[in-house]
Chain A
Amino acid sequence: MTSGAGRTVVVISGGSRGLGMAIASRCLSEGYIVATYSRSASPFVKNQLEFDPGRTNFFWSEVDATDSAGVKRFVSEVYERYGQIGAVVNNAGIGSEGIFASMRLCDIDLCVDLNLKGTLYLTWVCARFMIQRRGGCIINISSVTGIRGHSGVAVYSATKAGLDGMTRGLARELGPRGIRVNSVAPGYFESGMVDQLDDEAKARIIRRTPLGRLASADDIAEVVLFMISPSASFITGQTIVVDGGLTC
């Protein structure tokens, strides 16, 4: 077992790029041990692995989030290596855009499999360790699209609203074991998904946002970090919207 000296292990799905990478970076800088998986290693992952050959602070494996057996193997390996699973950030997800009636069914499957089922798989495995440890924290990265209606993202919205439902249900179920479950729901933030919007659409979103800008991935990561921390020890079952006031 790698000595973690009581440091909290944070498991992050899809921590190699984008928001997942921002969350992983902030967790590392706050002294957490980060264990993450993705389908391929990004430059960020390669860099972390190179500078931490003993895997003291950072652990990564190539895992497809929709492969329940692979996810289970990953979490078991993390547990054997560090002796605990302290927090989980369900971040891995994929955007899905288009008029619902003309979408390909396989695109619906892909979005539901990754965003919803992949999250349920990881949470299921980690919860089994957390209930024995009598503590832990689960964060689901949902979205404002799960809260308000947005044309063209019905499937994505369904998966994200599903996560919020899971948050509330699990908060009640796992609260008696000292496990907190919350959602963090970003609005539009600078990411690959937003890059697909044209300039006019971006300008419209900014105009409608009271704080007058898109969020950065770090804006979201800071909230995730707070929700993991002991400062949020009495918050569970909530969806924290981080959208600059877009939905207020």
Chain B
Amino acid sequence: MLNHQPNSAEISKTVRDQVGLLLDEKDLPMREIASEDRLNADLGLTSLDLAILVAALEMKLKADPFQELVPITSVRTVGDLEGAYVRFFSKAEDGVQDEELTKVRRRAEARRSSPGCLE
């Protein structure tokens, strides 16, 4: 687990290590993993494998960019996956939030603070 905010190179290495581990676990052919490799067509990974990758990467990187920032359906390649985490950490670093993300967070806050039947 990384204990600091990772840079792009660290993110890339972590993502590719996890992809490699998954290929090994599934007895798929090991190979040099490139940014343009398509997860499904080139590496043979399924959508469930992608979910496993995201769960494993959350434990390694302490981040899940697919909850608010990036739709998981937009991830086709290893580079897409790396890019999602790079984007997540660059947002965190800049403190910049795009308009859509701000709206999502406002909606979530409103839901949490609305008076329910429990009170």
Residues on A close to B: CB < 8 A?
64, 104, 106-107, 109-110, 113, 128-129, 131-132, 173, 176-177
Check if B56 sits within 8 Å of A110, measured CB to CB: no
Check if A110 sits within 8 Å of B116, measured CB to CB: yes
Contacts of B55 in A (CB 8 A): 128-129, 131-132
Contacts of A104 in B (CB 8 A): 117
Check if A131 sits within 8 Å of B51, measured CB to CB: yes
A173 to B52, CA, bound (A): 12
Residues on B close to A: CB < 8 A?
48, 51-52, 54-56, 58-59, 116-118
Contact of B52 among A109, A113, A132 (CB under 8 A): A132
Q: Which residue of B lies closest to A129 (CB)?
A: B55
| Secondary structure dominating the interface of B | helix
Contact of B58 among A106, A113, A128, A176 (CB under 8 A): A128
Nearest CB on A from B3, distance (A): 14
Check if A131 sits within 8 Å of B52, measured CB to CB: yes
Nearest CB on A from B17, distance (A): 14
A173 to B54, CA, bound (A): 16
Q: Which residue of B lies closest to A177 (CB)?
A: B48
Nearest CB on A from B65, distance (A): 15
**24 pairs, CB–CB < 8 Å, chain A vs chain B:** A64-B118, A104-B117, A106-B116, A106-B117, A107-B117, A109-B117, A110-B116, A110-B118, A113-B116, A128-B51, A128-B54, A128-B55, A129-B55, A131-B48, A131-B51, A131-B52, A131-B55, A132-B55, A132-B56, A132-B59, A173-B48, A176-B48, A177-B48, A177-B52
Contacts of A106 in B (CB 8 A): 116-117
Q: Which residue of A lies closest to B55 (CB)?
A: A128
